[in-house]
C-alpha cells in the first residue's frame, strides 16, 4: 500500500500514488478564480467549496456563488452569497 505524503490517500500501485501526489493540493488561478486539486484529483473552485462548507451540503444544479465585492479571489465567507443563474447575472 502506498500513501500520498500530502493527504494520506492510499493507493495499491506506486505509479498511481505518484500521479496523484504530483497535483494533490495544488492551487491555481483560472479566469480570475482560485481552484485546487482535491483528494480525488478533481479540480474544485475554492469559492464553491467554501459555500458548500457553510451550507453543510453540496451545491444544487442552478445554484451559483456570488462574490459581493466582485473580487474573484476574495473567498472570505462574509464576501460570498448563494444565488441562482438569473440573479447572479443581474449582479453583473
pLDDT band at 91 (very low <50, low <70, confident <90, very high): low
Question: Looking at per-residue confidence, does 46 or 43 come out higher?
Answer: 46
What the block records as the C-alpha cell of 27 is 492551487
Tens-place pLDDT, residues 11-39: 888 888 777 777 777 888 999 999 988 77
Torsion angles phi and psi, residue 74, rounded to 5: -90, 90
Handedness of CA 80, 85, 87, 91 (dihedral sign): positive
Q: Is the pLDDT of residue 46 over 80?
A: yes
What is the C-alpha end-to-end distance of the chain, expressed in Å? Answer: 50
Average pLDDT over residues 66-87: 92
For 46-54, the CB contacts below 8 A with 24+ separation are 46/75, 47/72, 47/75, 47/80, 50/75, 50/77, 50/80, 51/80, 51/82, 54/80
Q: In the block, which residue shows the cell 490517500?
A: 9
Domain extents for the chain?
25-91
The mean pLDDT of the chain is: 87
Amino acid at each position: 500500500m502506498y500513501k500520498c505524503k500530502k493527504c494520506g490517500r492510499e493507493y495499491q500501485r506506486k505509479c498511481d500514488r505518484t500521479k496523484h501526489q504530483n497535483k494533490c493540493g495544488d492551487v491555481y488561478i483560472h479566469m480570475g478564480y482560485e481552484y485546487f486539486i482535491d483528494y480525488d484529483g478533481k479540480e474544485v473552485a475554492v469559492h464553491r467549496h467554501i459555500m458548500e462548507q457553510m451550507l453543510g451540503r453540496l451545491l444544487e444544479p442552478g445554484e451559483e456563488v456570488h462574490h459581493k465585492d466582485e473580487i474573484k479571489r476574495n473567498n472570505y465567507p462574509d464576501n460570498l452569497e448563494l444565488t441562482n443563474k438569473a440573479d447572479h447575472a443581474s449582479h453583473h
